[in-house]
Chain A
Amino acid sequence: MTDLATPPQEHTHVPLQHPRLPGFATLLAAVVATAAAALLGLTLGWNLSGIVVLAIVLHLAGLTIWSRAVENARAATDRLMTSLVWVALLIAMIPLVSLVWKVVAEGAPAINGKFLTWSMRNVIGEPGGIYHAIVGTLLITLAATVISVPIGLLSAIYLVEYGDTSTLARWIRFLVDVMTGIPSIVAGLFAYALFSLLFGPGTQMGLGGGVALSLLMVPIVVRSAEEMLKLVPADLREASYALGVPKWRTIVKVVLPTAMAGIITGVTLAIARVIGETAPLLIICGSTDSVNFNLFGGQMASLPVFIYSSYTQPGSNPEILKSMAWGAALILIIIVLALNLVARVAGKFFAPKTGR
């Protein structure tokens, strides 16, 4: 039994809130770290990247130690991980910014009216144009789309409407998965081997590029079309059947128009993905200086192959051709971005209103 004569022990005061760093702590630590790093770096003669790295390290270390001292270990870890996550984001954005900057800085000066309307035929010692490459890219991509969209769309319709869980459908889904992983060079090799067999060894033509690119496009088209068709509510189909409409007409007149927005988005994204492929076109389409409108007639230039060969085989005017390569790279990126934008906008604009 406790002794009533002795007074109770003094309890240490336990606060309801443990001490926290002030709200501006992170900012303060960052500023101090930057200042310290700049001072140290400039005296040691380091360059900008070295100073930035040092600043980040100092900030991480400083903030963690400060937090450890004032708050507790768990809060310190939390602050450290938060900073690390933001540093990761920063590091991930650096190559993007530097790439876009480099392409715009090097490519924009090269672009002018002549650049976009001339080819490289008979052009020596002065900048020419990339018209032949643009035309080639458009034609080859058109050929790839014409081959892959009907096959892809019809296969997706089969998978969703007719096949469902049959063996054939399962095999098709599995093989579409396999095709998603084909390295682009393998698709190019296949197209080359096929055309060598059909037309003689070493045949190079624009259509071959279309075939190789369609091998890469079909899985994307099938995948996205399948998703879009699955999203069409069953009520629409059943209402149509209830009215006595045959199945094929239901699909063509009811299901497809409903899913059309998503399908267009999927196809546009697939085009944006293959329009930048170089390796298969390098093997099967070759390159040329002059404009070629004939998909069946010999080598055809394309933007990615133009960029590659202008940069790596410039000949006796490397500066001019390298600058043209950057200009062509800028045009290619603009085309890809435009396609992505069109895909998103078309998707939103044409989407059928769900519900009332």
Chain B
Amino acid sequence: MNRTALRRIAAPGIAALALGLALSACGAGNETGSTSDSSLSGTLKGAGSSAQESAMDAWRAGFQSDNSKVTVNYDPSGSGAGVEQFNAGALDFAGSDAALDPTKGEVDAAKKRCGANALEVPDYVSPIAVVYNLDGVDKLQLSAKTIGQIFDGKITKWDDPLIKNENPDAKLPGTAITPVHRSDESGTTKNFTDYLAQAGEGGWPHPADKVWPIQSGEAANGTSGVIAAVKAGAGSIGYADDSQVGDLSVASIKVGDAYAAPSADGAAKALEVSPVDTTRTKGDLAIKVDRTTTEAGAYPLMLTSYLIACPTYSGDKADLVKGFLKYVVSTAGQQKAADNAGSAPLPSKLQQQAEAIIDTIAAK
């Protein structure tokens, strides 16, 4: 074959190759062969809370296994991003660690997007862990006030007397403390600052907000970013959802007179004593968490994460959203999340209320 002949077939040859590759559409090795006989098909697009990421992975895997023609995509870009994009109409559902805030206009924006009051159901109850990286210190006990002062930059060294008082047995070095916070708009931040504001006895002078209020300390993007930053920096301390803590050291917080480590049961207990917010519209099941509870075994530094959806959708979307959301709050779904992310399954009363709300989703 001489060069001219080769040259002649070069361009069409390459084009044919590319086209063939595209058209062959070989499926991935793990996607062929559906074992379900479900009739649901389509794609769902969700985004939001990065704390829910592990649980969402479990829910999506379970739902997609049961309905092999459905794809659910979830982008853990942060609660703030999720709510913004949902209100702009870019998402089918959103995950948020903080309920829609009426004072910031989020409830009205959601109503505008849906054409009616948006639905909001709790789906994920998880403790927030205060993680730290300090060689030689395995157990750390901190009260809310101390935590507030550390993150506010008032306590700057690990061997500060305030920390020493609460940990008389620990060998605290003189290293500087590097507090790590979220750089994105985060529901986890809101829950954490809410805890510090309510229970901190003045140690934390800022109100609860999704945006971290002060500029000092290391900024990290997403729950995974905080964990990575704390892992990488000796002497750092941060706050993150318990599901992604891995093998990092975790501090116990003061509840009443005792110190409690983060646990699913503790979060569930704290949820039990927290009332449902009655100022909300029907279909919005927001909880006002009581951070100052001294209930035995409770762990009030927790987050209740929500799924936000519209009551009506056009076309097949309604069935898809309803099916997925029902799976998430079902006993099977909650158990799957508990296994994968260490969260506490929803108490049955809340679960029934949530299911009732989800059942109202209908096609336009």
Contacts and interface: CB of A to CB of B under 8 A. Distances in A.
Contacts of B71: 121, 288-290, 292, 298
B29 A287 contact: no
Interface string A297-319: 11100000000000011111010
Given A260-B11, A313-B222, A121 B31 contact: yes
A82 interface: no
Interface stretch (A35-43, A56-64, A125-133): A125-133
Given A142-B18, A293-B25, A315-B244, A201 B30 contact: no
A138 interface: yes
A203 B45 CA distance: 10
B221 interface: yes
A343 to B, nearest CB: 12
A34 interface: no
Given A119-B31, A291-B28, A124 B76 contact: no
A124 B61 contact: yes
A122 B227 contact: no
A180 interface: no
B103 to A, nearest CB: 24
B41 interface: no
B73 A288 contact: yes
Contacts of A163: none
A167 to B, nearest CB: 33
A170 interface: no
Contacts of B75: 286-287
Interface in B87-131: 88-91
Given A129-B30, A138-B22, A316 B73 contact: no
B20 to A, nearest CB: 11
Interface string B18-42: 1001100101111100000000000
Most chain B Cβ neighbours within 10 Å, of A257, A316, A349, A350: A316
B5 to A, nearest CB: 12
Interface in B49-79: 50, 53-54, 57-58, 60-61, 64-65, 71, 73, 75-76
Contacts of A291: 27-28, 31
B315 interface: no
Interface in A102-158: 114, 117-119, 121-125, 128-129, 131-132, 138-139, 142, 145
Given A117-B29, A313-B224, A125 B246 contact: no
A264 interface: yes
A316 B340 contact: yes
Interface in A154-188: none
Nearest to B70: A290
A131 B30 CA distance: 10
Contacts, number: 122
B3 interface: yes
Interface in A269-297: 286-293, 297
A203 B89 CA distance: 10
A200 interface: yes
Contact of B244 (A124, A202, A260, A316): A316
A202 B227 contact: no
**Contact size range, A:** 35 or more
B57 A298 contact: no
Given A202-B91, A264-B10, A350-B7, A122 B61 contact: yes
Nearest to B58: A124
- Residues of B in contact with A, size category: 35 or more
Contact of A123 (B30, B90, B228, B340): B30
A316 B243 contact: yes
B340 A128 contact: no
B305 to A, nearest CB: 15
Q: In the complex, which of the residues B30, B71, B89, B244 has the most CB atoms of chain A within 10 Å of its own CB atom?
A: B30
Given A121-B28, A124-B58, A257-B7, A318 B73 contact: no
Given A119-B28, A318-B224, A202 B341 contact: no
Contacts of A350: 3, 6-7, 10
Given A121-B28, A131-B29, A202 B221 contact: no
A200 B65 CA distance: 30
Nearest to A287: B75
Interface in B201-252: 221-222, 224-225, 227-228, 243-244, 246
Contacts of A139: 22
A315 B54 contact: yes
A349 B7 CA distance: 9
B30 A119 contact: yes
Given A260-B7, A289-B60, A350-B7, A315 B224 contact: yes
A286 B89 CA distance: 16
B340 A125 contact: yes
Contact of A201 (B6, B61, B76, B89): B89
Given A316-B54, A350-B10, A202 B28 contact: no
A289 B53 CA distance: 13
Q: Which of B29, B58, B60, B246 counts the most A-chain CB atoms under 10 A from its CB?
A: B29
A118 B246 contact: no
A129 B76 CA distance: 20
B76 A313 contact: yes
Contacts of B25: 293
Contacts of A123: 30, 61
Nearest to A257: B7
Contact of A142 (B22, B29, B54): B22
Which of B7, B227, B228, B341 gathers most chain A CB within 10 Å? B7
Contacts of A290: 28, 31, 64, 71
Contacts of B6: 349-350
8 contacts: A118-B30, A123-B30, A124-B58, A138-B21, A139-B22, A202-B85, A287-B75, A316-B243
The 7 A-B residue pairs with the shortest CB-CB distance, nearest first, are: A202-B90, A119-B28, A117-B29, A316-B54, A122-B61, A131-B28, A118-B30
Interface of A: 114, 117-119, 121-125, 128-129, 131-132, 138-139, 142, 145, 200-203, 257, 260-261, 264, 286-293, 297-299, 312-316, 318, 346, 349-350
Interface of B: 3, 6-7, 10-11, 18, 21-22, 25, 27-31, 43, 45, 50, 53-54, 57-58, 60-61, 64-65, 71, 73, 75-76, 85, 88-91, 221-222, 224-225, 227-228, 243-244, 246, 340-341
Given A117-B28, A129-B28, 4 more contacts: A286-B73, A290-B31, A313-B53, A315-B224
